[in-house]
Amino acid sequence: MKYSLIVIFLCSIFFSNAQIKPAIVDFGKQYVQHSIDNHTPMYISTAKQIWGAAELGYRETRSSSLLQQLMTSNGFSVEVGVAGIPTAFTAVYGKGKPVIAILAEFDALPGLSQDTVAERKPLIDGGSGHGCGHNLFGSASAAAAIAVKEWLANSGNQGSIRLYGTPAEEGGGAKVYMAREGLFKDVDIVLHWHPSDANNANAESSLAVKTGMFRFYGKASHSAAAPENGRSAVDAVESMDLMVNMMREHISPDARVHYVITNGGKAANVVPDFAEVEYYVRHPDVKEVLNIWDRVVKAAEGAALGTETTMKYEVITGLYNLLPNQPLGMAMYNNLKKVGGIKYDAKEIQFAEKIQSSFGYPAPPIIRAEAVTPFAMGFYSASTDVGDISWQVPTVGLGVATWVPGTSAHSWQAVATNGMSIGFKAMINAAKTIAMTALDLYTNPSLIEAAKADWLKRKGDFQYKTLVGDRKPPLDYRK
């Protein structure tokens, strides 16, 4: 394979670029696909181990180590603990421009422990599970980076490939802190993907979000013998929630505001001196998120004033909306079409049918997993810390059908599929699509130029500024 690449490279010197270049690129794409196929057992093993570890955000010691070892053993230089985050890392190969980055996630979700069966069966009661498929995400991204590294080493092409190990996507926002520390300042293009129940490579935007904990401090007292001496922190939380709920009538219909009371007192006969509520504010426009967040803070301040308590709040994270990129989206889509969708065998079809029967709502045809959704400029009503990176560097991603069609993310059905053959097949397709898109970027400088022009046009004169201020990464948010 190495010899063949060199022969084609030398031929390009003697023949016209118009004749040879498409053949070189096509051969290179075949090369990275074969590389991924040849190492598939290794990538499946890594994904299985991360699935089994099911570690929560900023606590992914085993999962991060598995990916680090994979990269080191394949010739990458690995730096651990970047941006002050113990489980964050970068893995680098090559030198010079262009610098192409691939994102790798690996954190799990609490309360979603599940076996790889098509019925609810927790492995550990109350345990965590990979309900968003980040075990597949990190493994596929590593596979793509390794295939690109092999191609760079054997083809003579110049450039750098960089894998970013990004912890705590599920509420911890590690990419925000990595972006704030300037880890992407010299990157030309960022590639990523995410598990899904369909195959698509749309140029999508998303919801910006800001989250935080509001803590109220009152005065404890006996609820019956001396209630007049107490000041209820729970009253303050309920007052805040009431005001925010009334505010919903007077904010944009595109906004999303949700909360959960994380501490509502300990005993009914004690006036609670402490209560806590967690809030999320989302909107497609980051400026509107900040506006609504300020109003939520005012509601908290008013609640404290009215109940004669005190209030402190802590911003946990803040994420920008994704900035879509049409040239990159089209390039990713064209490669996804070449790779294709996910084909189930007879055993997988039986598994999928049983999974769909557990939904309690109509499900799409199982065969949809084989299709690739036509390209579109899209939007999805969720949030991701990839958004912050997309405002610093042109960024593109894709979704691959790791889940049975109709499966919701963050569900036991998703956990089950992320640990078995359907998820692994999709993981390999994602790796191939990302690697092939990277080759387009190395071999076609005009694609990078077009992507940067589109990025500058959409960004305008807006200057990125993190929504979390100077706070340190919330390393204990899952404790």
* Same domain, yes or no: 367 and 400: yes
Instruction: Read off the pTM.
Output: 0.91
* Same domain, yes or no: 160 and 237: no
* Same domain, yes or no: 333 and 299: no
* Same domain, yes or no: 189 and 334: yes
* Same domain, yes or no: 187 and 315: no
73 is a domain residue: yes
Helix (H, G, I), strand (E, B) or coil at 180: helix
* pLDDT of the residue at 417: 98
473 is a domain residue: no
Q: Distances in Å between the alpha carbon of 309 and those of 29, 133, 371?
A: 63, 42, 57
* Same domain, yes or no: 145 and 226: no
Q: What percent of the chain has pLDDT over 70?
A: 96
* Same domain, yes or no: 195 and 218: no
* Same domain, yes or no: 140 and 13: yes
Tens-digit pLDDT profile for residues 56-82: 999 999 999 999 999 999 999 999 999
Which among 265, 293, 319 is the end of a domain? 319
Structural domain of 404: 2-205+321-459
Which position has the higher pLDDT, 13 or 316? Answer: 316
Which of 12-16, 19-23, 97-101, 416-420 has the least mean pLDDT? 12-16
Round to whole Å and give the CA distance between 209 and 344: 37
294 is a domain residue: yes
Q: Is the peptide bond before 98 cis (omega within 30 degrees of 0)?
A: yes
* Same domain, yes or no: 38 and 128: yes
* Same domain, yes or no: 215 and 234: yes
Tens-digit pLDDT profile for residues 325-339: 999 999 999 999 999
* pLDDT of the residue at 17: 54
Tens-digit pLDDT profile for residues 4-53: 555 445 444 444 455 556 777 888 999 999 999 999 999 999 999 999 99
Mean confidence (pLDDT) of the chain: 94
* pLDDT of the residue at 234: 98
* pLDDT tier for residue 380 given thresholds of 50, 70 and 90: confident
If one counts the domains in the chain, the total is 2
* pLDDT of the residue at 238: 98
Q: Are 206 and 256 in contact (CB under 8 A)?
A: no
Q: Are 371 and 336 in contact (CB under 8 A)?
A: no
**Encoding tokens for residue 446?**
């005009």
* Same domain, yes or no: 304 and 355: no
Round to whole Å and give the CA distance between 199 and 180: 31
* Same domain, yes or no: 275 and 358: no
